[in-house]
Amino acid sequence: MGGLLPIDRSGLSLRAKLYELNWLLPVLIAVTGAIGVVMIFAATDGVWTHGAAQHAIRIGVAGVIMLGIALIDIKVWYTLSYPAYFGALALLIGVELIGVNVNGSQRWLDLGVMRIQPSEVMKLAIVMALARYYHDLARWRISHISGLIGALLLIAIPMALILRQPDLGTTLLLGATGVAIVFLAGVSWRVIGFASLLMAVGLPLFVQFGLKEYQRDRIWTFLDPSRDPSGASYHITQSKIALGSGGVSGKGFMNGTQRQGDYVPENRTDFIFTVIGEEFGLIGSLMTIAIYIAVISLSIYLAMKCKSTYAKLLILGLITTFTLYIFINLGMVMGLMPVVGVPLPLISYGGTVVMAVMAGFGLILSAHLHRNSELPRTRL
Amino acid sequence: MARKSKITPKNSAAEQAEADSVLSRRTLFLGAGGLVMFGALGARLYDLQVRKAENYIALSENNRFNYNILLPSRGRILDRNSEPLAVNQPNYRVVLIPERSQDIENVLRHVGEVIELEPKSLKRIHQDIKNSPRFVPITIQDNMDWKTFAALNMRMHDLPGIIPEVAEGRAYPNGGIFAHTLGYIGRAGDEDIAQDKDPLLRQPTFRVGKTGVESAVEKRLRGASGKLKVEVNAVGRIVREWPDSKDAATPGEDVYLTLDAQLQKFAADQFGDDSGGVSVMDCVTGELRTLLSMPSFDGNLFVNGLTQADMDRMNSDPKRPQFNKVIGGGYPPASTFKMVVMLAALESGLIDPRRPVFCVGRMRLGNRLFHCWKRQGHGRMTMRDGLKHSCDTYFYEISQVIGINRIAEMARRLGLGENHGVGIAGEKSGIVPDEAWKKARLGSGWRMGDTLNASIGQGFVLATPLQLSVMAARLANAQFALKPSLIIGNGIPSFDKLDIDPAHLAFVREAMHAVCEEPGGTAYRYDSLKLGGIEMAGKTGTGQVRGISTSERASGVRKNNVVPWELRDHSIFVGFAPYDKPRFAVGTIVEHGGSGAGRAADITRNVLSEALRRDGMGPMTLKEAAAL
């Protein structure tokens, strides 16, 4: 395959690549996807065609794409970092202009053959762009104003566009990922302290003026659940009841009464963890979390094996996004965070997210597979 | 870019090494942070699923199960012979449980495509939705016919929150003739709910007694609610019922009335289109066999909610169908009051009943003329003749001697001017005037003219048909001051002694017998009861509604059939039978029915006769004979 791609200069044959590929990660991902299939099956009262089968097919198709991405030389992705970012930015602006409105949010772009969610594309592209940026940036600039402004612009512009859709969850996810990469790149503690101070002042202002009414509402409701017993806090309350009533060993597969009674809305998508918690109890919940920790740890291990800053930051950035998905989703389901509408990656039903996450793992696998590639530095 | 030139490969390698080391440390830092986060999530899970698990299991059970209130069957109301007067019948209806419906407007619109929902009922539905908790069923339409009900059932799938059910509705099989007595049921109002904390009252499909017997014995009729454990889903739809844990509702008690439904129907037939009331009382027990007010209204209309048209029609009817005349209508008793005056005279010892009075058709008192109903006068009248012929002049004369206070005292002893408390709302006490009453009420002194008017049951005196029947029953019973009773099981009544000389009562009864059974009596009719020699006693009364001017008297008093209905005399009759061994006493008033010897006497005779026949005292009917 390497021969077919003129820009693949890794010099490895396809067979060697398939041998070299870290297969443990795809296996863990497949296991996680399988948990998703089983739980979606339960959440839809045991009807295969109501999501479980689709999810299985999507995991399979996305798995093939993931492997495809993995086999392509990291230099290709390295070269595509900025084009991908600006392409995603263009899509976001396209959404702004001609997007499809679903449930009051303009997140989708209808391309005729398919609908895509540019914010999902941006989640990958921003990691690529920032990895590339810090790969090139001179060390002394990292904490210098000249280097900070570049990073700030790379992060803030897509955040602003996504917030306008409005999609608070993805905005924060994007911001957090960006900040994590800046942090990993080695920005000085002095800057971190200063930025924290700025946040402490800016956040209240942002909440007051940057958020839509319903977004503010969710935050207040989270802080004081009694405000709205039937709306968002109903959601959290029922979610906690589902988890709590599962106890240590759970009510048993397909036996969740909260699930049967449809008490937890969206339990096929964002609230699928409630089904795991209710039917498989603490044991099932912790096992699921353990698999996630395995995926994350393995990815970090793979990052450490890479030679280039680009590859390292790419893997760490992507796995940060993945981890944040999990934190936000579980925090929300357990009532530790406001309801923001972030899926549990690989387990929640939903095609775009599966595709984006698996593409990310494709990049991680590619970075690791080509860990010894020398990537040129354009000095900034 | 000034420093760019300073970068050498050596520098670059050192820089890379430094970058890698910073990155590793920072990765470790973030990784540690991540582990802390996962630790926090794990701790939260432990908190939820181990420490608070029991609590959440209870909440989840709470979610899963609901208790549906089961409405008790309302007790029936039956007559003395167990004939049903108020029953429950299947009522096909649809209710809406607001919390089970996402878009109520849309659901109502879809329902409106099958059944016509008037703006008025839509308004009521919205009101109910607003005022009730969201899980309480709201009646959309009651008493639907089967066809519509079935049609709506077919569309249930796109009507979330709409529930068809077969409930129990109240029905009054005899239509209107018991309506005043039975009353009707309706939704519990705010006052009801404020007074009575029974949660049943908050169920919008539940009905409470509003008036009449339905209201008077509400507690006995109601019963107690039950509950049914049901498994429900988040939108409240019942997934499963748990009949094992069903706590059935306790049905209300059946309540028996002293009334005889067949006799009441017979009496209603006698009234025809006339307005008034008749009360039939047992002369031994005081039980009311008939308590009828005419015309009546259909109690079933009130069950389903009265339309404005029905309401208007009732309110504009001069015969006032809603008004319970038999216990609430005060009428001048007219000549039926003469027994009171007669007994007062005898008990006072001031009047010798054999001493005659000469009637010339009128009597002068000061400068006023008091007329006897018979213009040409009755001539020589003893007390017995005075009653038999209803000579007003005789009573004018003796009343002046005995005075109003003795008359009033006797009237009260015979049950006039008193609320007897038959147990339903709307009973009036009428008026028995005396000097103290007039002073208190009108602030003026009693005049002899007032006594004269009262002596013939006119002027201030007012009595209800019920009171007239009580008076007749006490005269007939002679021993006890009977009190009327309507609802069986409200305790055994105890009666005071009547405390009137039995000889005097016998004298009055004999004179009343003469009224009905002796030729010349005002109500004489050959074989009056048509019960093979069973005889009755009674007294006519013609209650004057309008003043008769001197000029009209001069030119001849206009006959009742030439004056407008509302100016005609009230036709009144009291009586009892059999004369020698009284069983039943009757008080009848026909509003604007003309002379007491006419309509009221006819009705009373027929009703008494039917009452005795039904009591097994008369000859058998052909039907009964054939059955043997």
pLDDT digits (tens, 9 = 90+) for A114-136: 677 888 899 999 999 999 999 99
pLDDT digits (tens, 9 = 90+) for B294-339: 888 877 777 666 677 777 887 888 888 888 999 998 999 999 999 9
Inter-chain CB proximity B63 and A309 less than 8 Å: no
pLDDT at B350 over 80: yes
B451 in the same domain as B392: yes
Among positive and negative, which fits the CA dihedral A285, A290, A293, A299?
Answer: negative
Give whichever of B163-167, B171-175, B210-214 has the largest mean pLDDT. B210-214
Region B181-205: mean pLDDT is: 83
Contact A34, A304 (CB under 8 A): no
B221 in the same domain as B273: no
Cα–Cα distance, A88 to B393 (Å, whole number): 118
Is residue B626, in this structure, part of any structural domain at all? no
Q: Residue B624: what pLDDT?
A: 52
Q: Residue A205: what pLDDT?
A: 85
Whole-angstrom Cα Rg for chain B: 38
A374 CB within 8 Å of a chain B CB: no
pLDDT digits (tens, 9 = 90+) for B53-105: 988 888 888 777 777 788 888 999 999 888 999 998 888 888 888 877 778 88
Residue at which a domain ends, from B213, B232, B256: B256
Is residue B37, in this structure, part of any structural domain at all? no
B214 in the same domain as B281: no
Region A157-182: mean pLDDT is: 89
Q: What is the 3-state secondary structure (H, E, C) of B224-245?
A: ECEEEEEEECCCCCEEEEEEEE
Contact B228, B67 (CB under 8 A): yes
More confident residue, B428 or B628: B428
The full set of domain ranges for chain A reads: 14-369
Q: Which amino acid, B404?
A: I
More confident residue, B298 or A65: A65
Bridge partner residues of B586 (DSSP):
B280, B575
Q: Residue B3: what pLDDT?
A: 45
Contact B72, B224 (CB under 8 A): yes
Largest Cα span, chain A: 64
B294 in the same domain as B247: no
B239 in the same domain as B339: no
B291 in the same domain as B200: no
Q: How many CB atoms lie within 10 A of CB B456?
A: 31
pLDDT at B582 over 50: yes
Inter-chain CB proximity A282 and B22 less than 8 Å: no
Query: Using a CB-CB distance cutoff of 8 angstroms, which residues of chain A are in contact with residue B4?
Result: 138, 379
Contact A55, A44 (CB under 8 A): no
- Residues of B near A (CB-CB distance < 8 A)? 3-4, 7, 12, 15-16, 18-20, 22-24, 26-27, 30-31, 34-35, 37-38, 40-42, 44-46, 48-50, 52-53, 55-57, 59-61, 63-64, 231-235, 239
| SS3 category, B360 | coil
Q: Which of A323-332, B136-145, B564-573 has the lowest mean pLDDT?
A: B136-145
- The shortest C-alpha distance from B2 to chain A (Å) reads 11
pLDDT band at B627 (very low <50, low <70, confident <90, very high): low
Strands B276-282 and B362-365: unpaired
pLDDT at A67 over 90: yes
B477 in the same domain as B614: yes
**Chain mean pLDDT for chain B:** 85
| H or E segment to which residue B439 belongs | helix B435-442
Instruction: Name the pTM for this structure.
Output: 0.65
| H or E segment to which residue B602 belongs | helix B599-614
pLDDT digits (tens, 9 = 90+) for B531-551: 777 889 999 999 887 766 667
Residue B146: burial class (beta carbons within 10 Å; 0-12, 13-18, 19+) = exposed
B326: Cβ contacts below 8 Å, ≥ 6 apart: B180, B277, B278, B279, B291, B292, B293, B464, B465, B466
**For the sheet containing B570-577, what is the strand order?**
B288-294, B276-282, B584-590, B570-577, B537-543
Quote the DSSP letter at residue B298: -
- The shortest C-alpha distance from B160 to chain A (Å) reads 15
Quote the DSSP letter at residue B249: -
Inter-chain CB proximity A316 and B34 less than 8 Å: no
Q: Which of A324-328, B90-94, B490-494 has the lowest mean pLDDT?
A: B490-494
More confident residue, B275 or A220: B275
pLDDT digits (tens, 9 = 90+) for B217-246: 998 999 888 888 777 766 556 666 766 767
Which CA distances in Å does B202 have to B70, B71, B128, B137, B193? 13, 11, 11, 10, 7
Is residue B581, in this structure, part of any structural domain at all? yes
Is residue B196, in this structure, part of any structural domain at all? yes
pLDDT digits (tens, 9 = 90+) for A333-344: 998 887 777 899
Q: Residue B105: what pLDDT?
A: 83
pLDDT band at B622 (very low <50, low <70, confident <90, very high): very low
Q: What tokens does B310 get?
A: 């029905």
Is residue B55, in this structure, part of any structural domain at all? no
Query: Using a CB-CB distance cutoff of 8 angstroms, which residues of chain A are in contact with residue B45?
Result: 243, 277, 282, 285-286, 289, 334
Is residue B540, in this structure, part of any structural domain at all? yes
Q: Residue B628: what pLDDT?
A: 52
pLDDT at B183 over 80: yes
Which of residues 61 through 120 in chain A touch B, CB cutoff 8 A? none
Q: Residue B574: what pLDDT?
A: 95
Total tally of structural domains belonging to chain B: 2
Q: Residue B284 sits in which domain range?
A: 261-310+320-618
Inter-chain CB proximity A289 and B41 less than 8 Å: yes
pLDDT at A112 over 90: no
B513 in the same domain as B559: yes
Region A304-308: mean pLDDT is: 93
Q: Residue A4: what pLDDT?
A: 43
Q: What tokens does A102 get?
A: 């679903």
B393 in the same domain as B248: no
Cα–Cα distance, B329 to B463 (Å, whole number): 8
Cα–Cα distance, A340 to A212 (Å, whole number): 13
Quick one: angle between helices B404-413 and B338-348, nearest 10?
Answer: 110
Query: Is the bond leading into A118 cis (omega within 30 degrees of zero)?
Result: no
Cα–Cα distance, B436 to B433 (Å, whole number): 8
ipTM of the complex: 0.91
Domain containing residue B191: CATH number: 3.90.1310.10
B600 in the same domain as B452: yes
More confident residue, A112 or B5: A112
Cα–Cα distance, B541 to B333 (Å, whole number): 7
A338: Cβ contacts below 8 Å, ≥ 6 apart: A218, A219, A221, A222, A232, A332
| pLDDT > 90: percent of chain B | 39
Cα angle: B413, vertex B414, B415; to 5 degrees: 90
**Chain mean pLDDT for chain A:** 87
Region B441-447: mean pLDDT is: 89
pLDDT band at B200 (very low <50, low <70, confident <90, very high): confident
Q: Which of A125-134, B158-167, B288-297, B570-579 has the lowest mean pLDDT?
A: B158-167
Helices (H), chain A: 14-20, 24-43, 52-71, 74-98, 118-136, 139-142, 145-163, 168-185, 189-210, 213-223, 232-246, 257-260, 272-305, 309-333, 351-369
B265 in the same domain as B247: no
pLDDT at B384 over 70: yes
Inter-chain CB proximity B57 and A245 less than 8 Å: yes
pLDDT digits (tens, 9 = 90+) for A200-211: 898 888 888 777
Largest Cα span, chain B: 157
Tell which of A136, A188, A245 to mutate to test the B interface (max B CBs under 10 Å). Answer: A245
Domain containing residue B364: CATH number: 3.40.710.10
Is residue B266, in this structure, part of any structural domain at all? yes
B210 in the same domain as B281: no
Residue with tokens 């990155």: B23
Is residue B469, in this structure, part of any structural domain at all? yes
